[in-house]
Amino acid sequence: MTTTEILEHLHNLEITSSEKGTAYGSQFLSGTDLITSYSPVNGNLISNIECTSSESYKKVIEKAEQAFVKWRTIPAPKRGDLVRQFGDALREKKQDLGVLVAYEMGKSLQEGLGEVQEMIDICDFAVGLSRQLHGLTMHSERPEHRMYEQYHPLGIVGIISAFNFPVAVWAWNTALAWICGNVTVWKPSEKTPLCAIACQKIIAQVLDKNQLPGAISCLLTGGAKFGKLLANDNRVALVSATGSTKMGKSVATSVAARLGKSLLELGGNNAMIITPNANLQLALTGLVFGAVGTAGQRCTTTRRLIVHEDILNSVIEKLTAAYAQLKIGSPLDEKNHMGPLIDTDAVKNYATTLSEAKKQGATPIVEGEVLTNKTYASDCYVSPAIYLANNDMAIVQKETFAPILYMIPYSGSITNAIAIQNNVPQGLSSTIMSENIRETELFLSAQGSDCGIANVNIGTSGAEIGGAFGGEKETGGGRESGSDAWKAYMRRQTNTINYSTELPLAQGIKFNI
């Protein structure tokens, strides 16, 4: 894709070389400090963005509070219709927004388009859900009484998202938050601000068309301090944070101190187990995509490969042959399998991790390296690496956002492999490759994977909108997207109605009134 073609897509999204990055609806507020968005694809400056100021933060929250007062009174199916219109607007802008995601973040164009499709899918899911926000009825022990439970919106939902999925994770949260009657304030990653600004412009047009308060959707741009402001703000009922475990712990501590609600989807150290009963062709297909897709920058990236010692050499041979065929280059060229890391800081972290792995005794199987810009268009390109390692190594216990795969042999039964898989602080995604039903069922049982996602004969990477997404332990315990994840965005209320002429009291107590 040429620079001219990229600029045309940005023009269609109304993205310019200078942007105001704080907004409620279509009202974009001026800031003071600037952040710059450079493309990791070619190192070019895309735009300068005015950051949120302290004053504009206050105004955004005030406007969000005012918008909530009206939005919560609109029936849920009508709120769902707004989300339907947003989904339709995304369909019209899918190509443009997909190109921006690929260009600003560095993932492949196919993945960029796929991420926008996830936004469309969650809108469709939320539209149907808007007519199914059900409660419960139950029988009262008191005569001529009835009891039921119902759900109400929380108010302002703060959303903190990461650079690797610069639009989809916001949509997972915001589509559900909106149909539940909440308003949202989004603090995107400062590494991908233009993706957020484009989304804000799209939803602002939908809100304006429906004559609804623009502050149903709000945007903050800037550094970590704005995430901290959301976490410490009593007016923000729920903070949904996606990112590193370190960031999530900070958010959780601040929100808990004020007895607020948090939804955390944090780090992953995801493993694939390959047993002697696996279909190796199937396993390798899922493994390579899981390990190098998005240049290893997915929270569900396959970071550990736990292989039975009886098939270790065979897997090494096939895997090294597969890696030798990988094409690295511009993610906007469909011939390439892997694009760049997000920035040069990520490249330094990649190089440091490889050096540390060697110091700790890991053995290179495929030696990764930083790729110079003499061949590549920016300094953000690296090659994927595979290291033979021990699960107890400190570097293996840590999540590194890069295409580094640790191969860990196991012996004996599947229980040994499961024990290795579970022996990390994180608990997001996991998978087993086996055609033995006893092995797969054990993996899915209470004795098996301790992750929020446990797959059989597919990779660790990727998720469907219909299922709740998230994990346990240091992954945070939160669930986004499908299933009953909507309940996190609402408060539950128990109601008792007395339709008798008497008021029976607890424990038979009586007053002479």
pLDDT at 256: 98
Q: Examine residue 317 and state whether it is found in any structural domain, yes or no.
A: yes
**CATH code for the domain of 23:** 3.40.605.10
pLDDT at 312: 98
* 307 φ/ψ angles, rounded to the nearest 5 degrees: -120, 135
Do residues 480 and 462 share a domain?
no
pLDDT at 513: 77
**CATH code for the domain of 276:** 3.40.309.10
Do residues 252 and 325 share a domain?
no
Q: Which of 115, 265, 439, 480 is catalytic?
A: 265
State both tokens at 302.
Answer: 């396959």
Task: Report how far residue 216's alpha carbon sits from residue 197's, in angstroms, rounded to the nearest whole number.
Answer: 15
Do residues 308 and 421 share a domain?
yes
Which sign does the torsion angle of CA 5, 11, 15, 18 carry?
A: positive
Domain span at 174: 3-42+65-266+476-493
Do residues 106 and 227 share a domain?
yes
Is 299 tagged catalytic? yes
Do residues 188 and 289 share a domain?
no
| Domain count for the chain | 2
What is the amino acid identity at position 508?
Answer: G
Q: At 509, is the pLDDT very low, low, confident or very high (cuts 50, 70, 90)? A: confident
Average pLDDT, the chain: 96
Task: Report how far residue 492's alpha carbon sits from residue 503's, in angstroms, rounded to the nearest whole number.
Answer: 25
Instruction: For tokens 């797959």, name the residue.
Output: 455
Q: At 507, is the pLDDT very low, low, confident or very high (cuts 50, 70, 90)? A: confident
Q: Which of 195, 299, 380, 451 is catalytic?
A: 299
In sequence order, what E strands does 295-433 have? 302-308, 363-366, 385-388, 404-410, 426-427, 429-433
In this predicted model, what pLDDT tens digit does every residue of 331-341 receive, in sequence order? 999 999 999 99
Map residue 369 onto helix, strand or coil: coil
Do residues 260 and 385 share a domain?
no
pLDDT higher than 80, residue 240? yes
In this predicted model, what pLDDT tens digit does every residue of 115-148 receive, in sequence order? 999 999 999 999 999 999 999 999 999 999 999 9
Q: Residue 460 is inside which H or E element, if any?
A: none
Do residues 258 and 278 share a domain?
no
Do residues 13 and 81 share a domain?
yes
Do residues 183 and 303 share a domain?
no
Do residues 464 and 356 share a domain?
yes
Average pLDDT rounded to a whole number, residues 398-418: 98
pLDDT higher than 80, residue 374? no
Is 8 tagged catalytic? no
pLDDT higher than 80, residue 458? yes
Do residues 431 and 347 share a domain?
yes
Q: Examine residue 60 and state whether it is found in any structural domain, yes or no.
A: no
Question: pTM here?
Answer: 0.96
pLDDT higher than 80, residue 508? no
Of 74, 505, 475, nearest in space to 249 by CA: 475
In this predicted model, what pLDDT tens digit does every residue of 11-67 receive, in sequence order? 999 999 999 999 999 999 988 899 999 999 999 999 999 999 999 999 999 999 999
Do residues 85 and 186 share a domain?
yes
Q: Examine residue 55 and state whether it is found in any structural domain, yes or no.
A: no
